[in-house]
Amino acid sequence: MIMKRPNIILISIDTLRADHLSCYGYERITTPHIDRLAGEGVLFTNAYSTAVWTPPAHASMLTGLYPNAHGVIHQNRLGDDFPTVAEILQRSGYQTAGFVNNSQVGELVGLSRGHDDFYEIWRGLSKEQIVKRAIYNARRFAGYTDHGASETNKLIFHWLTKKWKRGKPFYMFIHHIDAHNPLKAPRPFRFKYLTESLRKQVDMAKIWKIADNPLVCFTDDLELNEAEIEAVTCLYDEEINYVDCKIGELVDYLAHMKLLDHSLLIVTADHGEHLGEHNLYSHVASLYEPIVHIPLILRYPRELASEAASDQPVQHIDLLPTILEVGGSDEGYKLNGAGRNLFECLNGEEASRILFAEWEGRIPYFVRNKLQGVRNHPLVERFRNQLWMARWGSFKLIADSKGHFELYNLDEDPQEQVNLYGKASTIFDQLRNALEDWRNSGASPVTSRSYDYEDETLRKHLKALGYL
């Protein structure tokens, strides 16, 4: 009997660090709906990003390649030679749709390719939608609007009822931005965790400034005390709790349409966020755990057990081969990426695998604009310093372009405080050599510059996210 090919739903929640989900052991119950999905599927405890900001990490997710192979770094677009998972599935008969809330995951960087329908929700309402705009503005004034998660669900539900041709399996890519700054969850989620008594202990004008764009901690030399860090953390957790609620709505809708159990559902994040660890904020110039350790949950009752957890080391590059396996396409194996099929990982012994990640040495636009061309500023040097990570078992090596090394044993030192460089030479040599080989394996892909700042809507959007 030929099994009908399943639907595939890939959800990426921008800027969601693993340790702030309750199913990853966080003390607040931030993610009850994602927790439920994890309880009905497999939760990967050792899932890692390949890069620490949106375009390269998503390009890895959608092409199965590391950034040094796909080339979507700085402001580069994905080259035409690299097929996306949507393109491959489309070729093999899937109906494909994308719903994204960040220009950095869309047409601008070439990641819209292969979708029959692609919704760049960040563009907002058009000038013609006068009534809708008036309602939106009134809700915004009252503090009830979000950063797109609600509209995303509406569009998905509409697509499923009006556009999806039921004879075909579908692939859906969903991207949420709510946990990314600006951190301002809609009511009643706002102040769910940031209590009145904590608000009274801190300077809320300073907290809102950081919640709006944490890069001000670098440009304005802001230091945060414990209460201030806790306040910003509360605002971050409120956004997570909100987006989790929206995922709950989507899952309920899929169940109502009797689609949930016939689908492979994947929930992950592109990267995490620093909340004061190592005196760092935002997601730049770091490969520490708060940034690279991401959530990854697979729900697929047809083949996966429920209430399962796996400590196999896995990465974004594994998603494409996994999705193509489930989707019945063998193209994934011809692409020569380093990714592995997660179903095989779950059944095999993979403990010897080394994971890699990089910070490409980019000065965030916001920082560059604030510096207004001041050369030799320490921040320029700081952000231009490239970083590379190799992680094997509990050991993690971070190397930079100035020749510095940090080596940590995460089992004994999860906060990455004790640098073992010079004290564990066998492990160090092994990881440094592996890192060299990996860096030399880069394909120098052909890419092109993508940004056109003349687009006013794009400029507004990039500014709202703190890019400009």
Cβ closest to Zn ion, residue 179 vs residue 314? 179
Q: Is residue 276 within 8 Å of residue 228, measured between CB atoms? A: no
Cβ closest to Zn ion, residue 212 vs residue 261? 212
Cβ closest to Zn ion, residue 14 vs residue 406? 14
Residues 266-285, one symbol each (x = binds Zn ion by CB under 5 A, - = not), give: ----x---------------
Considering the complex, what minimum distance in angstroms separates the CB of residue 161 from Zn ion?
30
Q: Is 286 in the site for Zn ion (CB under 5 A)?
A: no
Considering the complex, what minimum distance in angstroms separates the CB of residue 301 from Zn ion?
30
Q: Is 14 in the site for Zn ion (CB under 5 A)?
A: yes
Cβ closest to Zn ion, residue 283 vs residue 396? 283
Give CA angle at 29 (27, 34), nearest 5°.
120
The label of the residue with tokens 């993508």 reads 450
Cβ closest to Zn ion, residue 95 vs residue 101? 101
Cβ closest to Zn ion, residue 145 vs residue 181? 181
Considering the complex, what minimum distance in angstroms separates the CB of residue 180 from Zn ion?
6
Considering the complex, what minimum distance in angstroms separates the CB of residue 258 from Zn ion?
33
Cβ closest to Zn ion, residue 170 vs residue 467? 467
Considering the complex, what minimum distance in angstroms separates the CB of residue 75 from Zn ion?
15
Which of 22, 30, 50, 54 is close enough to bind Zn ion by CB under 5 A? 54
| 3-state helix/strand/coil string of the chain | CCCCCCEEEEEEECCCCHHHCHHHCCCCCCCHHHHHHHHCCEEECCEECCECCHHHHHHHHHHCCCHHHHCCCCCEECCCCCCCHHHHHHHCCCEEEEEECCHHHCHHHCCCCCCCEEEEHHHCCCCCCHHHHHHHHHHHHCCCCCCCHHHHHHHHHHHHHHHCCCCCCEEEEEEECCCCCCCCCCCCCCCCCCCHHHHHHCCHHHHHHHHHCCCHHHHCCCCCCHHHHHHHHHHHHHHHHHHHHHHHHHHHHHHHCCCHHHEEEEEECCCCCEECHHHCEECCCCCCHHHHECCEEEECCCCCCCCEEECCCEEHHHHHHHHHHHCCCCHHHHCCCCCCCHHHHHHCCCCCCEEEEEECCCCCHHHHHHHCCCCCCHHHHHHHCCEEEEEECCEEEEEECCCCEEEEECCCCCCCCCCCCCCCHHHHHHHHHHHHHHHHCCCCCCCEECCCCCCHHHHHHHHHCCCC
Give the CB-nearest residue to Zn ion: 54
Cβ closest to Zn ion, residue 74 vs residue 199? 74
Considering the complex, what minimum distance in angstroms separates the CB of residue 53 from Zn ion?
6
Give CA angle at 279 (278, 280), nearest 5°.
90
Peptide bond before residue 364 is cis, with ω within 30 degrees of 0:
no
Cβ closest to Zn ion, residue 109 vs residue 379? 109
What distance in Å separates the CA atoms of residue 20 and residue 14, rounded to the nearest whole number? Answer: 13
Considering the complex, what minimum distance in angstroms separates the CB of residue 1 from Zn ion?
42
Cβ closest to Zn ion, residue 16 vs residue 264? 16
The torsion region of residue 143 among left (phi > 0), alpha (psi -120 to 50) and beta comes to left
Considering the complex, what minimum distance in angstroms separates the CB of residue 259 from Zn ion?
28
**Region of 65-73, 189-197, 265-273, 391-399 interacting with Zn ion (CB under 5 A):** 265-273
Cβ closest to Zn ion, residue 14 vs residue 237? 14
Considering the complex, what minimum distance in angstroms separates the CB of residue 65 from Zn ion?
18
Q: Is 151 in the site for Zn ion (CB under 5 A)?
A: no
Tokens of 295: 């959530």
Considering the complex, what minimum distance in angstroms separates the CB of residue 412 from Zn ion?
30
Considering the complex, what minimum distance in angstroms separates the CB of residue 270 from Zn ion?
4
**Region of 51-59, 61-69, 79-87, 360-368 interacting with Zn ion (CB under 5 A):** 51-59
Site residue total, Zn ion (CB under 5 A): 3
Residues lying near Zn ion in the complex (CB under 5 A): 14, 54, 270
